[in-house]
Structure 1
């Protein structure tokens, strides 16, 4: 049954899907950072964080894929508009919904983990800012972090395009969310040290704002220096997403045999006619 207001449903899907993504992702980081206090017993490590974020993506795509395509990421939305014919009039509304969902999800994490955070870091300093947003590692320059985010997001979008292209032997529709989640796990394990693999402007800015309005007054800065950092996980992933989309479209897809159908968005099963090549 078709709704009279399909955009409302799509925006609801993007908002709720991104909120779920952040609830799992920021939640697992909060557990790792605060869960062992005060006994110094480990409650996880980098692998826990990588799998937590990856499984969060999987669950979010299952929730939102059918109604909105489960972009969940402004870099993906922009790349789809540039290379997949996604309606450009929907780009800003989708990004707004993603940002709102990330903000709401992070506020829930901030509220539920408030006691644990206060026990570990009562004045809400950069020591626990990493629960909510990313930052360059110690000794990592802004240029390196910027480059890292371009590469990580290019990998994300390129492989998402590969996984959802009917001309490229993609996984079955019901396994695509799991495969995309594993892709995020792989990126986290391979590209997590330099800058925390935000690879998603909404995932970073929404929680960053949530922390800023709840007491983290240095949230917009690097956790390992005085530099203003919030813009890096916004700008670099957009550039990386466009590069990744272009690499797949021009380096793979246009060289494949012609076929009759191709999905338009990440989680949508309905196919559309391929453009002539």
Structure 2
């Protein structure tokens, strides 16, 4: 009986399976990340600090990769998916499925955290959900630049943070050079995201991922924060969409010019071992 149920529920389409894997991986990543932000903000510093947020996203990335890695490669990041398409590692026909899966997972996670902390949100804001001001809460869900940062400076921050993300991912998976031990890639990618947050999180909140930023922003526009989520920070919303894509491409180019083109194939049992299929991730 159980076998029949399992067979009936098994999805035959590989593309749909990848969509669902990206959705679940993204959901796990974002629930851990956004809930850690909510706890720090709504707890007024009594239930965590900036480190808590970085750890939350790092843990979420690690678990999200473990959840989706074997099925979709666990991109969990629209910039990474687009880069794979541009490099020919992923067919363009699969791009919509990956992006839809990431959007659904991220949007659903934002709605989940909103429901989880609704009472705390209402108590903190007295029912007035704002993007700016002393009781602003929109930043729980999406990133916004610090008041002192220029738009150019914020763009450069997101660009460089994503460069470091892609360099780190490629280094972790580079078996022709000094790749991570098998099974350690997810953990090391989570630590990589933690490091980016610790070192480059102050200016913009390190979106480094269009799929992390846009879906929750859309949710907040619907859930009570209004269109201010798109106009705040000198119309900041477009920067987390474009800077990570450019940073991702730059990170790949730097790795190829400085490392990959000079790598020597590793001999294993008399055969050359080529570049492995990369299970990439994140934010």
Q: Same fold (TM over 0.5)?
A: yes
Q: Which residue does the alignment assign to 2:85?
A: 81
2:276 to 263, 266, 272: 263
2:230 to 187, 197, 220: 220
Report SS of the residue matched to 2:161.
Answer: helix
In structure 2, what is the Cα distance between the partners aligned to 1:193 and 1:112?
A: 26
Q: Which shifted more, 86-95 or 115-124?
A: 86-95
Report SS of the residue matched to 1:231.
Answer: helix
**Matching of residue 229 in structure 1 with residue 236 in structure 2:** yes
- Contact (CA 8 Å) 1:83, 1:246: kept in 2 or not? no
- Contact (CA 8 Å) 1:86, 1:265: kept in 2 or not? no
Report SS of the residue matched to 1:262.
Answer: coil
Report SS of the residue matched to 2:237.
Answer: coil
1:53 Cα deviation (Å)? 0.6
In structure 2, what is the Cα distance between the partners aligned to 1:265 and 1:5?
A: 22
In structure 1, what is the Cα distance between the partners aligned to 2:141 and 2:186?
A: 24
Report SS of the residue matched to 2:63.
Answer: helix
**Matching of residue 201 in structure 1 with residue 218 in structure 2:** no
1:93 Cα deviation (Å)? 2.0
In structure 2, stretches of 5+ residues that fail to align are: 1-9, 267-272
Q: Which shifted more, 86-95 or 109-118?
A: 86-95
1:168 Cα deviation (Å)? 2.2
In structure 1, stretches of 5+ residues that fail to align are: 269-277
**Matching of residue 135 in structure 1 with residue 144 in structure 2:** yes
Q: Which residue does the alignment assign to 2:14?
A: 6
CA separation of 1:174/1:8 partners in 2, compared to 1, >3 Å: closer, same or farther?
Answer: same
1:161 Cα deviation (Å)? 1.2
1:16 to 16, 20, 24: 24
TM-score under structure 1 normalisation? 0.89
1:180 to 189, 204, 207: 189
2:53 to 40, 49, 54: 49
**Matching of residue 162 in structure 1 with residue 162 in structure 2:** no
Q: Tell me the matched-pair count.
A: 261
Task: Name which one, 1 or 2, has greater alpha-carbon Rg.
Answer: 2
Displaced runs of 4+ in structure 1, greater than 6 A? none
1:58 to 57, 62, 77: 62
Report SS of the residue matched to 1:194.
Answer: coil
TM-score under structure 2 normalisation? 0.88
1:139 Cα deviation (Å)? 1.2
Q: Which residue does the alignment assign to 2:116?
A: 112
In structure 1, what is the Cα distance between the partners aligned to 2:13 and 2:41?
A: 42
Q: Which residue does the alignment assign to 2:180?
A: 171
In structure 2, what is the Cα distance between the partners aligned to 1:136 and 1:66?
A: 35
Q: Which has the higher helix share?
A: 2
